[in-house]
Amino acid sequence: MAGWELGNEPNSFHHLNSSLNVTAESLGGDFFQLSQILNHFPEIKGSILTGPSTTQLNKKPTIKYFSDFMATEGGREVTSPNFHQYYVNGRIATVDDFTNSEVLDSLQDELRTGNRIIEATGRKRKLWLGETSSAYGGGADGLSDAYVAAFMWLDKLGISAKNNVDVVLRQSFYGGKYALLDATTVDPNPDYWLTVLYKRLVGNKVLNVTSSPLSGDVRFYAHCSAEGFPQGSVTVYGMNLLSKGVNVTFPQFEGQLKIYLLSAPNQNLKSRFVNLNGITLEMTSDTSLPELTPRSGPNLLFLPPFSYVFIVADNKIYSKSCLDT
């Protein structure tokens, strides 16, 4: 059991039935009662308690609900405050929405709002995205399950880590157009491969990234590398949202880097496949993943239009922040 939670988007129950109204204060009482029940069982005492699982923090009524809940006795018992987030309406979303830097940036304000409310409670807790993907309403058909969805997913992982989010729960692994697996064939959608690479290459410790010139359309994040890489290794990941290629230089790195460049087959942003260093990723059998092999390259990298990349610098000690002490 990963944790305990009550309800799903309780601030929106009235949309389902006008007579349903679970107030933040009432929900807080329920969470307090749940916390007391959990404490009666030694095997689950101290478990994660997460909530209130509201809709996204981009409207005043939702922000007030989240804030009022966190101020209740039950809200103070919650170990991992969370809300849900989607960028766009899946019924009307366009391919341009998925590569729009302003759409991607909208998450930053929501995370800052959530962190500010948590900080005001005086308890040190980390925010969760308790349910999240690209587009609500089950996803956008032909977009949330296509190559272009990767930009929203990768940027969400980067910006969440940068804003002290502890856990990001993807909606969904299977089911809906935003799933990691195709609902009919159970073959991996492009976001699946991105997720595998992220888990293999990216560690938990977040580093600061600066760039010149600043650009919302070419953005990067950096972490200490995942376990298994030499101490001091750094993993950088990012994207080019432009319709033209760009050269990116990493002056801190010398020698050969491990490069995982991902692009759309035939430059088709609606493709259900993704290329890794020019090779289309597909399952080699019903149970086996292909080798996700990087290529070696210098610190000057050409990023094709609408591409994204993971880069691992592990042939020297690059970051003192990534050395175990």
Q: What is the pLDDT of residue 293?
A: 96
Q: Which residues contact 320 (CB under 8 A, 6 or more apart)?
A: 232
Q: Which residues contact 82 (CB under 8 A, 6 or more apart)?
A: 5, 50, 51, 52, 53, 127, 128, 129, 130
Q: Which CATH superfamily is domain 10-199 in?
A: Glycosidases (3.20.20.80)
Closest CA to 146 of 86, 93, 198, 191: 191
CA gap 194, 150 in Å, rounded: 7
> Which ranges constitute the DSSP H helices of the chain?
13-16, 24-38, 60-70, 73-77, 101-120, 149-162, 190-201
State residue 320's pLDDT score. Answer: 86
* Catalytic (active-site) positions: 9, 131
In the chain, where the domains are located: 10-199, 218-322
**Ranges of residues in the chain whose predicted pLDDT is under 50:** 325
* Closest of 244, 258, 186, 172 to residue 215, by C-alpha: 244
pLDDT at 325: 47
Q: Which tokens belong to 282? A: 């597909």
Distances (CA, A) of 48 to 36, 73, 105, 296: 13, 16, 29, 42
Closest CA to 70 of 115, 105, 134, 39: 115
Q: What is the pLDDT of residue 31?
A: 98
- pTM for the whole structure: 0.96
User: 218-322 belongs to which homologous superfamily?
Assistant: Golgi alpha-mannosidase II (2.60.40.1180)
